[in-house]
Amino acid sequence: MIALVDCNNFYASCERVFRPDLVGKPVAVLSNNDGCIIARSAEVKALGVPMGAPLFKWRKQLEEEGVAVFSANFSLYGDLSERVMSVLRDNCPVVEVYSIDEAFLDLSLLPRDQLGEYCRELRAMVYKWTGIPVSIGVAPTKTLAKLANHLAKKNPKADGCWLLMGAEHQRLSRLPVDEVWGVGRRLNKRLNEYGVSTVWDLRNMDASTARKLASVNMERTIRELNGESCMPLELTKQPRQRILVSRSFGHDVSSFDDLKAALVTYAYRAGEKLRCQNSRAQSIDIFIHTNTHRDAEKQYKGSVSIPFDMPTNDPSTLSRAATEGLKNIFKPGYKYKRGGVMLNEILPEHVAQLSLFTADVSVSKVGAIMDTINKRLGSDLVHFAASDVGVSWRMNQNMRSPRYTTRWGDIPSAVA
Amino acid sequence: MLQRPSSITKSTGIQSISLIDTSVEASLPMALDSIKAGFPSAAEDFMERDLDLNELLIKHKAATFMVKVDGSSMVNAGIYHDDILVVDKSLDADNEDVIIAVVDGELTVKRYVNKGGRRELVAESDDFPNIKLDDIGELLIWGVVTTNLRRFRK
């Protein structure tokens, strides 16, 4: 049996861990840049606020309803996520961390009659240890476990756990087919036109029809719906082949210097991720573009790809490439809305070839030294001088909660 | 294995002779210290890792949080304003434990007293009142304080 453990409204739940006054109250979390809502507590969902709701449209309503709105606090979410996963790993020998708030557990060694109690205890333990409420769905396959998890969330009587054991005709007939992992809006439409509207319908579809309507993957999904496990738990995470760092600017940016500052910082961030996975990139793409939603204004998209002489993760090299790239694509007189860098053709360090002609060792140490200083004193203390010009593009993070678990200056207080 | 002529077994007591398979390697860990001539240092056998504060203070890493004290109601317990408390959310509160409880939606530090079913949150200072559990309804225990980090120089 496979369990899917999934945190309830994760970001919103994180904001409540150190704010017990917000338990039961509506909480929403905004994307970087405070553009749109990326997490809603159950109370906010009940108000009809949709996922991705743009703040400017809903601001008045949120204020009237007394919704506690926070800017995304990824330092906090990452830390709390790691704690949840740690508790899961302590209590289950095989855990696949699927995303920041989901994990699959292999429960095949657990006797069936103990599954229910195990899940209830695990759920209680995660909540007690970390303050994060989770739902657990258990089934013979990952696809069914996802459905079981959905049932656990939707049924208050379930107490946050659901075991989907047999071919539960009743239950699966009442679930719409787009609840199935892998069925998106377009596929859902196609399936509906074919007369497949519930999960049960899809389960009973034959392989050749599946292949015709969708893809080979759909065939695998149908087998999973029928209890045949086709997706083993993946325990080793593949290092990234491409690293993208890109952001929408706080407001329109028109000057070369401001764009340069942004791109250099992105290049540095991307470099951090590269060094983190002990890799080097062989080329970098730099791109900038205007706000594509504003039809009235003149549009421009510029991008350039720069190969490196040799694979690198050195911050100076990446930063220089970002600047050179920008010189190539910058056009004055436009209002830029977004920019980014993408590192490509990534190789593990031991595979990347060392050039015989440059002092590669000393150059790559710069990166490590910068990383160490930044870690000890807080991010971005040491950065390239080019990053300093203007702050107009920096993400708005006005309403971010304190970094309760990663900064001494931000730890929560208890009244004595 | 080579054939054993009976004469060898009788006189030398050798059971058998086998060719060594030299294609198999076994790797041995290399000593990290260079071999010094003369007597080894008496301290070498007792070399250990540094004292680790995390090992001493944090038993359940996923459930341990740092909380700052804001106020003076616990001074008689040696807990002062601005002290940093190590709080373990995985522990069950025992009678007399210092705990973090949720009172009026706030994290609050008090001593938990549970005598024969009667429970109370006791302030460790004459200037502050205790909190009887009937007054706050359900008791929400946020975590148990295991350590007070009281620094004299910051």
The pLDDT of residue B31 is 45
Between B108 and B42, whose confidence is greater? B108
Between B84 and A271, whose confidence is greater? B84
A21 contacts chain B (CB < 8 A): yes
The pLDDT of residue B135 is 67
Judge: A415–B65 Cβ closer than 8 Å, yes or no.
Answer: no
Residues A113-147 pLDDT 10s: 999 999 999 999 999 999 999 999 999 999 999 99
Give the C-alpha separation, B95 to B115, whole Å: 7
Name the DSSP letter for residue A332.
T
Give whichever of A169-183, A223-237, B32-46, B104-118 has the largest mean pLDDT: B104-118
pLDDT at B74 over 80: yes
Contacts of A405 in chain B (CB under 8 A): 65-66
- The answer to whether residue A15 is catalytic is no
Of A20, A84, A404, the CB nearest to B105: A20
SS3 B5: coil
The pLDDT of residue A315 is 80
CA distances from A57 to A44, A149, A188, B14, B26 (A): 15, 32, 29, 94, 70
Q: Are B75 and B82 in contact (CB under 8 A)?
A: no
The pLDDT of residue A214 is 78
Q: Are A364 and A324 in contact (CB under 8 A)?
A: no
Give the C-alpha separation, A26 to A61, whole Å: 12
Q: Are A130 and A77 in contact (CB under 8 A)?
A: no
The pLDDT of residue B32 is 44
Token representation of residue A341 = 């860098």
Contact partners, residue A57, CB within 8 Å, separation at least 6 = none
What mean pLDDT, rounded, does chain B reach? 80
What is the average pLDDT across B9-31?
A: 48
The model carries a pTM of 0.70
Residues of B with CB under 8 A from a CB of A: 60-63, 65-74, 79, 81, 84-85, 89-90, 100, 102-103, 105-110, 140, 142
What is the average pLDDT across B23-28?
A: 50
Judge: A415–B109 Cβ closer than 8 Å, yes or no.
Answer: yes
Amino acid at A22: L
Between B127 and A274, whose confidence is greater? B127
The pLDDT of residue A187 is 82
Of B70, B72, B142, the CB nearest to A413: B70
Point out the residues of chain A with pLDDT beneath 50.
353-364, 381, 388-395
The pLDDT of residue A12 is 97
Question: Radius of gyration of chain B from Cα atoms?
Answer: 32
Give the C-alpha separation, A368 to A276, whole Å: 10
What residue of B is the nearest CA neighbor of A18?
Answer: B107
The pLDDT of residue B26 is 52
Judge: A413–B61 Cβ closer than 8 Å, yes or no.
Answer: no
Of A130, A412, A416, the CB nearest to B62: A130
Between B105 and A361, whose confidence is greater? B105
A129 contacts chain B (CB < 8 A): yes
